Structure 1
Amino acid sequence: MLSERQLRILEAIIVDFIDTAQPVGSRTISKKYPLGISSATIRNEMADLEELGYLEQPHTSAGRVPSELGYRLYVDSLTNLHTIGTEQKELIQSLLLKRIIEANDIADQSAKILADFTGLVAVVTIPQFNKCRLANFKMVKVTDTKVLLILVTDNGIVKNVQLGISNTDQYILDKISDTMLSFLMGETIKNIDVRLISKLKEKLSSFGDIVDYLIPILKDAFKNLDDNEIHVAGEQNILSILEFSESERAKQIFNFLKSSENLKALAQTMDTSKLSIKIGTEIGIKELEDCSVISSMYKVDGKNEGKILVIGPKRIDYGSVISIVNYISNTLSDLFSGIYL
């Protein structure tokens, strides 16, 4: 266990390093932080913290920088979470709520907000649509050759699927839609399988060729309404991060972020608790050994369904980023539970 004095010195070093990206010396700490102890005492404590593995010294004559162990202790027991101001809350809500159209829109906008507010890389996974219950089903004639299928879930998620149906009057589409809705309402998308859809042919037998053409399309449409879509924003922020200024390091992270499979795997490694923070080698992915990942779950229908992640260097303002991640996570949970609908 570290002493209270060692904890205060470690916190001061980490706060200063996060702010300046420069190794921190004892004189800097004694001048900038009112710890009430001499520079010599700070220097001795820093040497002890280095020996214990909480600090590292990049060069013999340089100051110290936090190690992974130091960051972990800081995150677990020292970080004072920032409080998001009213203006920030209103801005986040307005940016999200103005685009309540589809789950993809919400996820895309959330990733952009996270990236803009943190200056880091943001990843958002959308809820598993096929676990939601069908609340509305509508086919709308767009042109003589195109029909838009609109699926709405019980928590307000909307999915649009374009169908190639020609020369069909809207009133016929309405009759088909109404019949299918009455038959399928309340079913989970996952349960609307081949067997269930086939039974609809008996209910809609009077529509003949249209139904024969529509059923296979609907089977494919339902099958393709899959889960775990990934939305990424802020990849370009890597270029402005000092730790990633080396082209090879930035290229390594860029290549990792380009793969949706990599990002899905990363999301799955994060804990299913409300908040998860992994630093460096804790992530378990070679390409991200110089990074930290902060993630949180958000809920759909009372269950943990989606994840948001922020990826950056180890040297980030953890308190600020965590508070933003938490607020957006809570806002998404409210949004998908229908509070803002």
Structure 2
Amino acid sequence: MLSERQLRILEAIIVDFIDTAQPVGSRTISKKYPLGISSATIRNEMADLEELGYLEQPHTSAGRVPSELGYRLYVDSMTNLHTIGLDQKELIQSLLLKKIIEANDIADQSAKLLADFTGLVSVVTIPQFNKCRLANLKMIKVTDTKVLLILVTDNGIVKSIQLALSNTDQYILDKISDTMLNFLLGETIENIDVRSIMRLKEKLSSFGNIVDYLIPILKDALKNLDNNEIHIAGEQNILSILEFSESEKAKQIFNFMKSVENLEKLVRTVDTSKLAIKIGSEIGIKELEECSVISSTYKVDGKNEGKILVIGPKRIDYGAVISIVNYISNTLSDLFSGIYL
């Protein structure tokens, strides 16, 4: 158990290191932070903190830097979170709160906002669309060989699926769309199973070969809606982070982020709790052992989780990033639950 003085010294070291990215010495702490104790006393306490595993000394002549254990204690005892500025709130709302918008557009915009505000890498997944209820359905002829199937959920989320369907007049597509909507209205997407589709086929039997071709395509398209969709932004921010300035470190993280399989692996590490922070080895992914991940979830009508992650060095401004993540998470929960529709 650390003393109150040791906790104040550790906090000062972490705050200074987050700000400067330079190892912190006792004289720096004594000059910059009003702790009311001498530089010699601070130096002795820093030695004890190092021995206890809360600090590390990267070079013999250098000051100290926080260890994973030090960061963990700091995060767990952190009480001062930043407040989101009114201009930031207005910008987030102006870019996200639109009447009807593609779920993918929401995720893209959210990831970009997070990356811009934090200067880090962000990942956003959309809630599983297949758990939402169908409110509208329309097929639109785009070209002679392409048809767009548009699905709208009861909370206003729009999903479009491209179908390869040739030489079909729009009025035929309208009739098929109307029949499908009347049959499937109010169903959750995941409940539209093979049996439902076969019953739908019977109702559409008058359309002959078109339906024979359309039904398998529709079945596969709905099945694919079960997959998580991952949106990433800010990968280029890695280059401006001092810890990752070495080409090999940057390359390792870049390569990890380019792989969809790796991103899915990262998303699976996110806890189901509202907010989670994982530091270094806690992430459980070798390529990210020099990173921290701040993550949260958001809901659709109290369920159907989407996930938000911000990835950066261990030297993250935790208070500022947590505040941004929380605000966007709450905004997305409200948006996907129809509060702003």
The alpha-carbon deviation at position 258 of structure 1 amounts to: 1.1
Q: Who is 1:132 aligned against? A: 132
CA RMSD between the two structures: 1.5
Partner of 1:65: 65
What displacement does 1:163 show?
Answer: 2.6
Q: Secondary structure at the match of 1:142?
A: strand
AA partner of residue 199 (structure 2) = K
- What is the deviation of 1:99? 8.7
What is the match of residue 307 of structure 1? 307
Q: For 1:290-316, what per-residue CA distance to the aligned partner results, in whole angstroms no more than 9, with x for missing partners?
A: 000000011012115111000000011
Gaps of at least 5 residues in structure 1 are: none
SS at match of 1:78: coil
- The letter for the 2-side match of 1:54 is Y
Give the aligned partner of residue 123 of structure 2: 123
Distance apart, 1:65 and its partner CA: 0.7
- Shift of residue 207 of structure 1? 2.1
- Corresponding position of 2:19: 19
Q: Name the CA shift for 1:82/1:250 in 2 (closer, same or farther; >3 Å).
A: same
Q: Is the 8 A contact 2:131 2:304 kept in 1?
A: no
Letter in 2 for 1:5: R
Structural mapping, 1:266-285, within 5 Å: 266-285=266-285
Amino acid at match of 1:138: K
Code of the residue aligned with 1:78 in structure 2: it is M
Query: 1:113 maps to which residue?
Result: 113
Give the TM-score taking structure 1 as reference length: 0.96
Name the SS of the counterpart of 1:328 in structure 2.
helix
Q: 1:174 to 1:121 in 2, by over 3 A?
A: same
Q: Structure 1 stretch 97-106 or stretch 186-195: which is displaced more? A: 97-106
How many residue pairs get matched? 341
Distance 1:63 1:167 in 2: 73
Mapping of residues 1-341 of structure 1, within 5 Å:
1-98=1-98, 100-341=100-341
Distance 1:48 1:100, change over 3 A: farther
Distance between the aligned counterparts of 1:229 and 1:5, measured in 2?
Answer: 47
- Counterpart residue type for residue 197 of structure 1: I
Q: Is the 8 A contact 1:138 1:177 kept in 2?
A: yes
Structure 1 pair 255–323 and aligned structure 2 pair: CA distance change class (3 A): same
| Larger mean Cα displacement after TM superposition, 160-169 or 81-90 | 160-169
Per the normalisation by structure 2, the TM-score is 0.96
Q: Residue 79 of structure 1 contacts residue 318 of structure 1 at CA under 8 Å; is this kept in 2?
A: no
Report the AA paired with residue 258 of structure 1: K
2: CA distance, partners of 1:227 / 1:144: 29
Secondary structure at the aligned position of 2:307 is classed as strand
SS in 1 for 2:135: strand
Q: How far does residue 100 in structure 1 lie from its aligned partner after superposition?
A: 4.7
Q: Which runs of 5+ in 2 are unaligned?
A: none
Name the CA distance, whole Å, in 1 between partners of 2:164 and 2:27: 72
Q: Give the partner amino acid of 1:211.
A: V
SS at the partner of 1:222?
Answer: helix
**CA distance in 1: counterparts of 2:111 and 2:192, whole angstroms:** 31
Q: CA offset at residue 94 of structure 1?
A: 1.1
Displacement, 1:252? 1.0
| CA–CA separation in structure 2 for the residues paired with 1:68 and 1:147 | 53
Which stretch has the larger CA shift, 212-221 or 293-302? 212-221
How much does 1:98 deviate? 4.8
Answer with 34-43 or 169-178: which moved more: 169-178
Q: CA deviation at 1:141?
A: 2.7
Q: Greater CA deviation, 103-112 or 146-155?
A: 146-155
State the SS of the aligned residue for 2:101. Answer: coil
Q: CA deviation at 1:167?
A: 4.1
Specify the code of the residue in structure 2 equivalent to 1:294.
I
